[in-house]
Amino acid sequence: MQSLSNYKATGLHEVVNEVLTMLPHNVSQTIYKLLNIIWASGYTPDTLKTSKTVFINKEETEITYFRPVGLANALYKLWTRMVTNTLYEYAEADCRLSTARQV
């Protein structure tokens, strides 16, 4: 959890990353175990996948210059980071990553 970025906008649950990084160790371990259960089940709960959409004004002039930005929940970001790291470590250990760069 320490790798989460600070000062980021919140998703629907409005849990800021700073709160997750300050949790006691036993609570962090519980969240980690929960994410492992989600991984083992192969099912990601819809509440984690739901994001909040806000509109960012690209230009200060007209409404047509707004673009949508999806704000994911902090726990979902943590979940996707865990999945990405696990798959990367597996692929690297099993020599499944190519050293050639594809364009």
pLDDT recorded at residue 12: 64
- What mean pLDDT is predicted for residues 47-67? 77
Q: What is the Cα–Cα distance from 9 to 23, expressed in whole angstroms?
A: 19
pLDDT, tens digit (0-9, with 9 covering 90-100), for 28-45: 889 889 888 988 998 888
DSSP state of 62: -
pLDDT, tens digit (0-9, with 9 covering 90-100), for 66-98: 888 888 888 888 888 888 888 888 888 877 776
- DSSP H or E stretch at residue 83: helix 74-93
pLDDT recorded at residue 3: 63
Strands 66-71 and 52-57: antiparallel
- C-alpha closest to that of 8 among 59, 98, 16, 50: 16
User: pTM of the full predicted structure?
Assistant: 0.64
Residue 27 sits at φ, ψ, to 5 deg, of: -70, -40
